[in-house]
Amino acid sequence: MSEENIYDKVVWSSCNVNCGSRCPLRVYVKDGNILRVGPDNTGEGGPFGTHEIRACLRGRGLREWVYSPQRLLHPLKRVGRRGEGNFVQISWDEALDLIADKLRQVIDIHGNESVFRIYGTGNLGGVVSAREQIDRLMNLLGGQLGYYNTYSTAQITHAMHYTYGAKDCGNHLTDTANSKLVVFFGNNPAETRMSGGGSVRDLVVSQQGSPVRTIVIDPRYTDTASCFADEWIPIRPGTDAALVNGLAYVLITEDLVDKEFLDRYCVGYDKTTMPSDIPPGNSYKDYILGQGPDGLAKTPAWASAITGIPLERIVKLAREVGTAKPAYIAQGWGPQRHANGEQTARAICMLAILTGNVGIRGGNSGDREGPFGISFPTIPVGDNPVKTAIPTFLWTKAIASHDNFTDLGDGLKGRERLQSPIKFLWSFASNTLVNQHSDIASTQRALGDTGLCEMIVLIDNVMTASARYADIVLPGTSSFEESDLCYQGYAVEMGVLILRQQAIEPLGECRTLYDICAGVARRMGVEEEFTESLTHDQWVEYMYHQCRRLRPELPEKYLDAISQGVFKWNRGGQLKIGLQAFRENPAEAPLNTPSGKIEIFSKQLWDLSKSWILPQGDQITALPEYHATWGMPGNSDAQKYPLQLVGHHYKQSTHSSYANNPWLQEAAPHSLWINPLDAEPRGIRHGDLVRVYNQFGQTQVRAKVTPRIMSGVMSLPQGAWYSPDAKGNDQGGCINTLTNQRPSPVAKGNPQHTNLVQAEKACGAPPC
């Protein structure tokens, strides 16, 4: 008897959290219970691009999520104050009636602009189970306040827009096999995208048999650095642009730039390619050589003092980059998640631009590695009648201070000033409500005042840190309790369609998001328009046939497709070379920038710098310059809080998803990375309980004393659930007790790696 015959059924499912991957899973069921979760078993020994997609320990541990002691099983209504976590069980009818009544009241009094669905990615990759079901419902009811940006990529997306007029303009990661040199700035796929469905698989393939030299520049000696790099260069957080400036000085003064490329394809390198209406002295070359307004030459010695990288190593790196052709320059999303993140991301691109490595095989634009991607259809949501949109990171300001929320001050789109505060808030599969948003203490104050936001509806699988702040908590089905389609194709160079089958009946009274929205739609008089007379499962089948319109080789019959479960497409041997068409013929394939060229000098940013209202210390510059910000050494807070703190994505969880899984907590304990040179004078030893604090709050966490983090810098994995004691002090190592809600200047994105803190041995940890 085969192993699978032991079980009543084995069905296909998927891991749908936001690591970028969407790994297929095999769910083994006996007597209506999940006994184990296995990986993809198709494609063994097959060619790259149709290979097995082996899920990592997070997806393989999903059984612990479904059967978690914190699992939500019934609708709940808050009693007492928000945040206390006190609820009473109510019926679905009462819950949906309360939601519909309040939603109708808020719209009638304040308008649709006062309704908002908060950003969240705890369930991402599904189609019918997608968060966009709420958008579909709200669009039928007159719309809701929109948002733009993500917590992951706000600054880099804007940087690519102002530089290249596009996003995702990088080469495939496997193209590094054709390079002479690879330089990664804060790019760590071995941990952030570590499964068979992640880009670490592409990195393994590209380095097999390739002699390419790889350098990783990062404050932390990451798994990518330890497994794939020939050299690790530690750097102070937020100073990557200063490093690039120092490298550029060497490239320019030693004639290692590709002048022909700069003249033909770029705007703003020197005075010969500057916009005609800009005063002299504002070119990039002027800035680097100290001939611009600041009069400061960006020498390697200048860069060394800022970055902590020895002068000699900066000079050597510049010569390596300038003489290796082609060179693959790429950045992860960590360097841009700073208070000066837009300029950091643009600056890193300058290494590729100065050396002419853009748009060629073995080169890269400086962006993150490019995805493969298959444009499968998503659930139709209709048009949002509300055209006002906020940067997603600023939703707390839209609750607490809407009258000061403006286009020139806060990046508001569609209006000059926000007309109404957020009064009704949807939260689906999102721990962003509290846990993943900066400055938890400030967030608590905004949410705790029920006179501001009048109703918070949260839909999730478990009682998260955020769920405690909801008024109505609804138990949603997990991915194992509903059928759906799932797409893969962003984080690995292949495309995948997974036909996810329902493995078990929903636990307790859990319902799908579709059915929850349909219940609200019924009470609001738009049920027929919302459902189009289809059930959840009928929508899944309908969307499958929409996929067949793009991929007609899929089985004609839906049941035949279900029996196979997983479909894979390789990229057909075609490497993605970002901006290749532009490089080959810039006249026929211009970029989507005002000039049609690469904009080293951005006239758009020049104009923004003169019109936008910025807090003191923030700067918008037309060139990719380095500027120190708040939360960095040299700031007035640095004497009291002398250590820089960043957060890193961690093997234990994907953002905060699965952070409550005891298996993962045991496999990869949550701990604060601290260098021995910083630990020793503080009396901190490996494993000690440490108190980390600043003006925003404090948290306690175990110390990982290691030389794998640069001295003067600590790193705390992001995603740990906020767990306050009776005094409100976090006991769980949640980094957002220490982060700032002040956004970056251009994108208004989250700066959650820009922090100054102090650390000490916690009381109760001997000797204290």
- Taking alpha carbons only, the member of 375, 374, 361 closest to residue 171 is 361
Is residue 543's pLDDT more than 60? yes
Compute the average pLDDT of residues 678-687: 97
Tell me, yes or no, if the two domains 76-145+386-476+511-533 and 636-761 fold the same way. no
User: Measured between alpha carbons, how far is 34 from 29 in angstroms, rounded to an integer?
Assistant: 5
Q: According to the model, what pLDDT value does residue 164 have?
A: 98
Nearest to 25 by CA among 36, 13, 33: 13
Distance of alpha carbon 273 from alpha carbon 268, whole angstroms: 5
Q: What is the pLDDT of residue 3?
A: 61
pLDDT at 373 over 80: no
pLDDT at 93: 98
Q: Which residues pair with 699 in a beta bridge?
A: 692, 730
CB 536 within 8 A of CB 515: yes
For the question of whether the overall pTM of this predicted structure is more than 0.85, the answer is yes
- Burial environment of residue 42 by CB neighbours within 10 A (0 to 12, 13 to 18, 19 or more): middle
Three-class SS state of 249: helix
What confidence score (pLDDT) does residue 600 get? 98
Evaluate if residue 767 carries a pLDDT over 50.
Answer: no
Distance CA 435, CA 700 (A): 15
Which CATH fold topology does 636-761 show? Answer: Barwin-like endoglucanases (2.40.40)
Residues 221-265 have pLDDT tens digits of 999 999 999 999 999 999 999 999 999 999 999 999 999 999 999
Domain 76-145+386-476+511-533 fold is: Rossmann fold (3.40.50)
* Band (110; pLDDT cuts 50, 70, 90): very high
Paired tokens of 260: 């022909």
Cross-strand bridge partners of residue 458: 427, 473
State how far the Cα of 686 lies from the Cα of 221, in Å rounded to an integer.
17
Asked if 446 and 60 count as a contact pair (C-beta separation under 8 A), the reply is no
Percent of the chain with pLDDT over 70: 98
CA angle 604, 631, 650 (to 5 degrees): 95
- For the cut 50, the answer to whether the pLDDT of residue 370 exceeds it is yes
pLDDT value at residue 1: 46
Q: Say if residue 594's pLDDT is above 90.
A: yes
292 CB neighbour count, 10 Å cutoff: 20
pLDDT digits (tens, 9 = 90+) for 305-348: 999 999 999 999 999 999 999 999 999 999 999 999 999 999 99
Residue 401 exposure: Cα atoms within 13 Å on the Cβ side: 11
Give the chain's length.
Answer: 768
The CA angle 251-252-256, to the nearest 5 degrees, is: 50
Each residue's pLDDT tens digit, 472-504 = 999 999 999 999 999 876 667 888 899 999 999
Higher pLDDT, 378 or 651: 378
pLDDT surpassing 90 at residue 86: yes
Q: Return the domain boundaries, the chain.
A: 1-67+478-505, 76-145+386-476+511-533, 155-372, 636-761
pLDDT band at residue 43 using 50, 70 and 90 as cut-offs: confident
pLDDT per position as a tens digit, 187-203: 998 888 887 777 888 88
Binned at pLDDT 50, 70 and 90, residue 95 comes out as very high
pLDDT score at 45: 63
Before 767, cis peptide (omega within 30)?
A: yes
Mean pLDDT in the chain? Answer: 94
Name the 3-class secondary structure at 688. coil
Backbone angles phi, psi at 750, to 5 degrees: -80, 135
Q: Is the pLDDT of residue 619 over 50?
A: yes
CATH code at 155-372: 3.40.228.10
